[in-house]
């Protein structure tokens, strides 16, 4: 790894498990120091941080909830204080509480929007402000979802993941003059804990077999795409939505 690479840092929100944990480890393998944001499982977060350190990189554990603007600002500030800079933000934190539309409450709607959409927007704002102040030509990667097509038990979730695409495009335009690139990844069903809420293991594996490529996605595959989008190999890529879903959705 080169000397310049040793000076780069990434903040991954919701990094205690799943795609977020995979992103933290993939960025460490690519030479980044990693701020591991976590919410409610210190042991899982420490295991991810240990993996980052095993790759020879610095790890900072940043506990916090992206569901409020002060929370977003505190997480970004904590990452900068711990690692000295921020070059990449991966907006991964998200929730998908399954609920039938006819039973959905305002509180359920508001919480999903607070974490998935407001959290992504204001974590990006805080990170971008820091990048601009430091003169860093950084990168933001937002996590959308193939659920943008709609899901009967996730009207609120689908709305936020469509919203993530909207803010990605608009932020890409707003931040391009500062040399900051913004892209979104829309994963299909990935082999993590999240899709196991509301699906049996048999149902989940059957869904994977029905995809054109015949299996569920692996979190490491989503993470490698995030690393690619943050790299100089994607220097002319901004405002785009990258679909990675085994062929299950071809927009």
Domains assigned to the chain: 9-244 (3.40.50.720)
Does residue 249 carry a catalytic annotation? no
Strands 59-63 and 88-91: unpaired
pLDDT at residue 141 is higher than 80: yes
Q: How many helices (DSSP H) and strands (DSSP E) are in the chain?
A: 8, 7
Question: Mean pLDDT, to the nearest integer, of 41-64?
Answer: 98
Return mean pLDDT, the chain: 95
Question: Mean pLDDT, to the nearest integer, of 159-168?
Answer: 98
- The pLDDT value given to residue 2: 39
Catalytic residue among 145, 146, 158, 234: 145
pLDDT at residue 1 is higher than 80: no
- The pLDDT value given to residue 5: 55
Does residue 157 carry a catalytic annotation? yes
* pLDDT band of 194, cuts 50, 70, 90: confident
Judged by DSSP in three states, 115 sits in helix
Distance in angstroms between the alpha carbons of the first and the last residue of the chain: 37
* pLDDT band of 195, cuts 50, 70, 90: confident
Catalytic residue among 8, 146, 161, 234: 161
Question: Mean pLDDT, to the nearest integer, of 5-11?
Answer: 84
**Distant-in-sequence, close-in-space partners of 160: CB < 8 Å, separation ≥ 6:** 94, 112, 113, 116, 117
Task: Tell me the per-residue pLDDT of 84-113, one tens digit each, with 9 for 90 and over.
Answer: 999 999 999 999 999 999 999 999 999 999
* pLDDT band of 46, cuts 50, 70, 90: very high
Rounded to whole angstroms, how far apart are CA atoms 247 and 250? 6
Q: Is the pTM of this model over 0.85?
A: yes
Catalytic residue among 32, 118, 146, 157: 157
């Amino acid at each position: 790894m080169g000397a310049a690479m040793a000076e780069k840092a990434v903040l991954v929100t919701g990094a205690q498990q799943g795609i977020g944990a995979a992103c933290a480890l993939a960025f460490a393998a690519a030479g980044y120091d990693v701020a591991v944001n976590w919410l409610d499982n210190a042991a899982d977060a420490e295991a991810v941080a240990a993996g980052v350190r095993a790759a020879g990189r610095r790890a900072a554990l940043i506990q916090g909830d992206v569901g409020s603007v002060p929370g977003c600002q505190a997480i970004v500030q904590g990452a900068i204080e711990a690692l000295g800079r921020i070059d990449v933000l991966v907006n991964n934190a998200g929730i998908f509480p399954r609920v039938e539309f006819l039973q959905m409450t305002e509180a359920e709607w508001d919480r999903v929007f607070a974490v998935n959409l407001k959290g992504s927007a204001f974590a990006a704002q805080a990170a971008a402000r820091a990048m601009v102040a430091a003169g860093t030509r950084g990168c933001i990667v937002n996590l959308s979802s193939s659920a943008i097509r709609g899901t009967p038990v996730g009207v609120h979730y689908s709305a936020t993941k469509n919203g993530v695409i909207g803010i990605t495009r608009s932020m890409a335009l707003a931040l391009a003059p500062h040399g900051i690139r913004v892209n979104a990844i829309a994963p299909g069903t990935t082999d993590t804990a999240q899709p196991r809420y509301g699906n049996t293991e048999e149902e989940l594996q059957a869904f994977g077999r029905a995809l054109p490529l015949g299996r569920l996605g692996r979190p490491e595959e989503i993470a490698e795409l995030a690393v690619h989008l943050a790299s100089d190999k994607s220097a002319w890529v901004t405002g785009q939505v990258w679909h990675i879903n085994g062929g299950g959705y071809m927009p």
